Structure 1
Amino acid sequence: MSSPNIAPLHDRALIRVSGPDAEHFLQNLVTADIDELADPGSTLSALLTPQGKILFDFLIYKQNSGYLIDAPKETSADLLKRLTFYRLRAKVDLEAAGEDVCVFALWGGDLSDTNGAELVVIDPRLAALGQRVVGPTGFADASAATVKDLEAYDAHRVALGVPEGLKDFAYSDIFPHDADMDQLGGVSFKKGCYVGQEVVSRVHHRGTARKRFIQIEAAGALPEKGTSVIANDKSVGELGSSTMIDGQAFGVALLRLDKVHQAIENGVPLTCGDVAITVKLPDWAEFGWPDAKAAE
């Protein structure tokens, strides 16, 4: 039996949140329901602008009554500053984890020995993504898994149609529904208020999410991120990440579902750059195609 794959995610950083008010502090700020997290447990979540757009997206792990926030390294310092700004008089300790701790992605099987790992959890977005491991920087090399690079993990993620902030969309640009966060367990519609909650709740209950990240495929390599997807000489969205697997191109794109469905219904070709593409809803998506007539 082949060994699982493990990849050090050097583009991620960890923030530790602890103290008597840690749970209450996060519960009042982020999109996920922190009160419902098991120990250990994990969830996708985000911190929004007051207008309901994604300011930061991240994973949260509960561990020994404290929390770890797994966020893009590029913006982790800004996230830590923003959390500190919101702390006010709450009894919460916030600090960046040291460089001796790393986040790993594990997929294609389980490790028989996780000794040395600080935390091992199933990826809360989608079980098919595998597991997230927090451990010392040398954990992957000491494990029985096949060590892969970040590019291999991103190919695995993109092939499953799961978008990520910065890699697929810019911050302060789109709403949680656009990024499928409501589908991937990152938004609670039952908890109390948090920053941006009113807008997100309205979109959800009115069913007015017109744009979504969905999957695209092509016979040849796709162009660079941000390239428009075209139907009838008009843009219906743009490409996020893409990858090649066994000669086939896979990608995720943020598209106007009504316009894309109308194009499909009318037999209109879809292209990205000069590449002909096909589109499909992710297998895990609970949303369907809207009425094509709505785009007219």
Structure 2
Amino acid sequence: MPPAIVHTLLHRAPTVAQVANRALLSVSGTDANTFLNGVLSTRVKGPHYTAFLHSQGRVLYDAFIYNDPAPTTAAPSYIVEYSPPPPDSTDTPPLLAYLKRHVLRSKVKVRDVSEQYDIWASWGAEVDSAWETKRAWNWARSGAVEPVWNLEIEDAQWPWGVEAGVIRDRRAVGMGRRLLVRKGDMPNESSTHDLGTPEDYLLHRVLHGVPEGNIDIPPAQAFPMDSNIDIMGGVDFRKGCYVGQELTVRTYHTGVIRKRIHPVFLHTGSPSSGPQTFTSALPAGLDVKPVVETSPDGERKGPRPRGTGKLLSTTTQGVGLALLRLEHVSAARAGALNLQVTNPLTNEVLSVSPWIPSWWPEPENEDTSN
């Protein structure tokens, strides 16, 4: 849950909303499981959240894998949902071309099906949460974290569900379900849920601290653990070889996680004033600068902090996500420094207050001083 100051922004009524800026690929064939296991950061056992990495371990795409609701063959068939890169992007290969390069002699067919389906999110009703179970966590000394699912009590032995075209969104407690719906159709939930907008879904996931897509996880730039993909269940550190595995596993065992994406609210003056509203969301990629508190005589209270953060998705309600150094978050929450961003539209300096989602694992390794 978000802190009380932004708690009123939560929309608690059952809601269904379309998710914007998503693309879909069909991957099918007798070798589909083996093929996907070679390019995904997770094992393919059923619907779930995952990521495609490049050879240096950075994220190309975070993605969802669905069981195909309308397979045309008896062979394994999946729908891959992802956020396409901007049209002017030159650093990231289109996912369709990327996968086709890896097919080689595999008996796999990959094709774009973005014009066949829409993506919807559903949350707030019992059907969207009755399957939730208490989270358990596996920590690495690096600070990487994995959810541990109790498969003995998980329905159908798979935490993300097994229904074709539906995923239980286990990235965070309270996210609800993700639905694959025929293009132009309304989901069945539209008769029982409030009809929301893509902006309502953005606010919903921001308040739950969930990054998604190429704004929050810049392609070929972001690392999976910095982007919380490990916490959200999108990395399997024990599976066999896949693209990007070497650096990811090395970081898990011997590295140190120094950054994480956090939910934040933007404000002027005291945090008790609450988030500031905007006529339009702030641009992504703005620097979040740490400013050390000073004593009455102007002396800095601590050493000059290193580095800056990055503002990611924001909403007009004044909440958003930001990639921040963990040492900056700890100091800001302790009142030792302020995090600030400048609104380029008004030149107004805004304070950035991070919070820790209640569903996150309790920190066990906070040594980020080196």
TM-score (norm 1): 0.85
Q: C-alpha distance in 1, partners of 2:120/2:230?
A: 24
Shift of residue 172 of structure 1?
0.4
Alignment of 1:1-296 (within 5 A): 4-34=14-44, 37=45, 41-63=46-68, 65-74=76-85, 78-97=94-113, 99-109=115-125, 119-140=165-186, 143-144=190-191, 145-218=193-266, 219-221=275-277, 223-232=282-291, 235-245=307-317, 249-265=318-334, 267-273=336-342, 274-286=349-361, 288=363, 291=366, 294=369
Task: Note closer, same or farther for the CA distance 1:199–1:141 as it changes in structure 2 (3 Å cut).
Answer: closer
More helix by proportion, 1 or 2? Answer: 1
Q: Which letter maps to 1:232?
A: V
Q: Which letter maps to 1:28?
A: G
More strand by proportion, 1 or 2? Answer: 1
- Could you say which structure has the larger radius of gyration? 2
> Conserved in 2, the CA contact under 8 Å of 1:141 and 1:147?
no
Q: Which letter maps to 1:282?
A: P
**Residue in 1 that maps onto 2:158:** none
Q: Counterpart of 2:82 in 1: which secondary structure?
A: strand
Q: C-alpha distance in 2, partners of 1:198/1:125?
A: 24
Q: C-alpha distance in 2, partners of 1:126/1:163?
A: 10
Task: Kindly provide the CA deviation profile for residues 116-145 of structure 1, in whole angstroms up to 9, marking residues without a partner as x.
Answer: x96222114234111111121233276313
Shift of residue 55 of structure 1?
1.2
Shift of residue 272 of structure 1?
2.3
Q: Which letter maps to 1:268?
A: L
Shift of residue 262 of structure 1?
3.7
Q: Which letter maps to 2:289?
A: I
Moved more, 171-180 or 259-268: 259-268
Computed over aligned residues only, the root mean square deviation of the Cα atoms, in angstroms, reads 2.7
The unaligned stretches of length 5 or more in structure 2 are 1-11, 87-91, 129-162, 267-274, 293-304, 343-348
> Conserved in 1, the CA contact under 8 Å of 2:169 and 2:175?
yes
Identical positions, percent: 32
Task: Note closer, same or farther for the CA distance 1:163–1:98 as it changes in structure 2 (3 Å cut).
Answer: closer
State how many pairs are aligned.
Answer: 282
Shift of residue 291 of structure 1?
4.3
Q: C-alpha distance in 2, partners of 1:19/1:187?
A: 24
